[in-house]
């Protein structure tokens, strides 16, 4: 197993165990053992258990952000672009249930330092902010306070993905995906 393989094995194992057992119930020893490396090896790659968690959190947030931005459409019509974005984000969640569950559990958890969460949130939602501001200027979106709308977006996304995680049979059903987008969109539109 190469160096990079070991680091990745640690990250993969940590994700799985943090989600299934929780951060505090997962010992670094169990991560190392499950990943097939020695306890000391974990600490060569990550200075501490907290740093491993932070790295993992930012890593996954970045993965979602990259996915969304790489697949974003720009047809000029806000609602269509937003619907495309929403579908990409929901599809990612469905394709990565472990990572989505990780967000559900740790987005608000004190296991991750507030500053790290803030950093991730503003990073990933920066283009959301721009999109909303643009929509307000053109009169398509309601003139509610920006941070209220951002909180609303985040909440709607967590709620929708929670629904799809709890009802995996509904993934294929385009009706439900549209329903979730309607709730998201109607909440914000003029």
Q: Which does 39 bind (CB under 5 to 8 A by kind): DNA, its own copies, none?
A: DNA
Matching residue, tokens 């306070």: 145
Q: Which does 148 bind (CB under 5 to 8 A by kind): DNA, its own copies, none?
A: its own copies
Alpha helices in the chain (DSSP H): 3-21, 28-35, 39-45, 49-70, 78-95, 97-106, 114-137, 146-166, 174-188
Contacting DNA (CB under 7 A), which of 45, 84, 162, 170? 45
The residue ranges that bind its own copies (CB under 8 A) are 21-25, 104-105, 107-111, 142, 144-145, 147-149, 151-152, 154-156, 158-160, 162-163, 166-167, 170, 176, 179-180, 182-184, 186-189
* Minimal distance, residue 150 CB to DNA, in Å: 32
* Minimal distance, residue 89 CB to its own copies, in Å: 14
Q: Output the CA–CA distances (angstroms, integers) from residue 37 to 3, 58, 121, 190, in the order listed.
A: 11, 23, 32, 55
Matching residue, tokens 């169990």: 30
Q: Does 76 bind DNA (CB under 7 A)?
A: no
Chain center to CA of 167: 19
Q: Which residues of this protein are in contact with DNA, per CB under 7 A?
A: 2-3, 6-7, 24-30, 37-45, 47-50
């Amino acid at each position: 197993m190469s160096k990079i393989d070991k680091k990745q094995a640690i990250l993969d194992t940590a994700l799985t165990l943090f989600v299934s057992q929780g951060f505090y119930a997962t010992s670094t020893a169990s991560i190392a053992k499950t990943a097939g490396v020695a306890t000391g090896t974990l600490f060569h790659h990550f200075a501490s258990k907290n740093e491993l968690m932070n790295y993992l959190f930012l890593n996954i947030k970045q993965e979602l952000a990259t996915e969304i931005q790489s697949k974003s459409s720009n047809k000029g019509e806000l609602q269509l672009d937003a619907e495309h974005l929403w579908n990409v984000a929901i599809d990612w969640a469905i394709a990565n249930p472990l990572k989505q569950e990780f967000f559900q559990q740790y987005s608000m958890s004190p296991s991750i330092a507030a500053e790290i969460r803030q950093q991730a949130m503003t990073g990933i939602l920066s283009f959301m902010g721009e999109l909303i501001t643009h929509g307000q200027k053109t009169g398509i979106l309601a003139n509610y306070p920006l941070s209220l709308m951002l909180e609303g977006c985040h909440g709607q996304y967590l709620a929708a993905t929670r629904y799809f995680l709890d009802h995996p049979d509904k993934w294929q059903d385009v009706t439900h995906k549209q329903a979730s987008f309607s709730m998201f969109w109607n909440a914000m539109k003029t």
